[in-house]
Amino acid sequence: MPSALRFLLLPLLAVGLSSCLPISVGPRSLALTAIADDAPWTIQDLLTAGRVPRHLLRSLPDTLELAPLGSVIVACQTRGSLWGLCSHVTRKVGPNLLSEEPGPPGSTSRTRPVNSLLGRDVVFVLDTGVQPGQLLALQARADALTGSAYLLNGETDGFDCVTYQNALQRALGLPDVGPLNPRWNAHLPGDVLAVPTNHLLWVGVRDLGAVHGLGTAATTGGADQH
C-alpha cells in the first residue's frame, strides 16, 4: 500500500480499533455567541461555551486584514477532525502573506496568500509576543526554514504546523505557541488557544449573521481579555 494512503487510513483505523480515543481539543463548538464587552470573560468561555466579547468579532476578510504582522492565526471549520475543530496554525508575515508548514506529508514550509484562509469558517488571531522590532528577525528565520519537510512533532529537520511556529518563536526568544499534547502525543492547533502567553486579538467569522446575539456588524476597536 502506498505510504500516503497508509497515512490517510490511520485515523480511520484508530476509530475502528479504539472506543476510547483522547478527547478533542480547542473550542467545543463554532456556534459562537456575542456577549457584552464589559461582561466577565476568559478564554475558557470561548473554549467551552463559544462566548466571545462583541468587539472581538469581525468578518473573515476584515479579520485577516486587521491581523498584525507577526500574529498567529488558528484556522477552524465546522467539519472538524478527530482532534478538534481547529486543524491549522499559520502566521501573518506580510500584508498579503502567511508563513506556515501546511501539511500533510509531502508538503514543505512556505509562504501562502492570506486569502487562502477565506475558506475557513472561523479564525482566531493571537498575539504571541512578537514586537515590531522583531519582524525582520522573524522573516529571516522563516526564510531559513523555507522548504523544510513536514514531520509530525519535528523540531529541527522538519516540522508540523505548530512546531514550525514554535521554531519561529524560539528564534526570537519567545515562548512556544503550542505544547505537546500528552494524550494525543502531538502538537494540536486547538491547544494553541489555551496557552497563557497567547492573547486573543480578533475572531473572524465567515458567516457573521450566524453569531448568536451579535445583531449588527461588530464595531471597530479591540482589546485583549485573555
- Domains of the chain: which residue ranges? 56-210
Instruction: Return the pLDDT at 22.
Output: 76
Residue 129 has pLDDT above 60, yes or no: yes
Which residues, 6 or more positions from 2, have their beta carbon under 8 angstroms from its beta carbon? none
pLDDT for 222 equals: 39
**8-state DSSP, 212:** B
Q: Residue 102 to residues 69, 83, 98: CA-CA distances in angstroms?
A: 19, 17, 10
> How far does the chain reach from its first CA to its final CA, in angstroms?
47
Q: What is the predicted pLDDT for the residue at 200? A: 99
Over residues 162-216, the pLDDT tens digits come to: 999 999 999 999 999 999 999 999 999 999 999 999 999 999 999 999 999 997 5
Q: Rounded CA gap, 205 and 208, in Å?
A: 6
List Cα–Cα distances, 44 to 49, 73, 177, 226, in angstroms: 8, 18, 17, 9
**Under 8 Å CB-to-CB from 103, ≥6 apart: which residues?**
88, 150, 160, 161
Q: Which region, left, alpha or beta, applies to residue 177 given φ > 0 means left and ψ of -120 to 50 means alpha?
A: alpha
pLDDT in tens, 61-107: 999 999 999 999 999 999 877 889 999 999 999 999 999 999 877 78
Q: Is the model's pLDDT at 220 over the cut of 90?
A: no
Q: Which of 13-17, 23-27, 140-144 has the highest mean pLDDT?
A: 140-144
Q: Which CATH class is domain 56-210?
A: alpha beta
Evaluate if pTM is beyond 0.75: yes
Note the pLDDT of residue 21.
54
pLDDT in tens, 148-174: 999 999 999 899 999 999 999 999 999
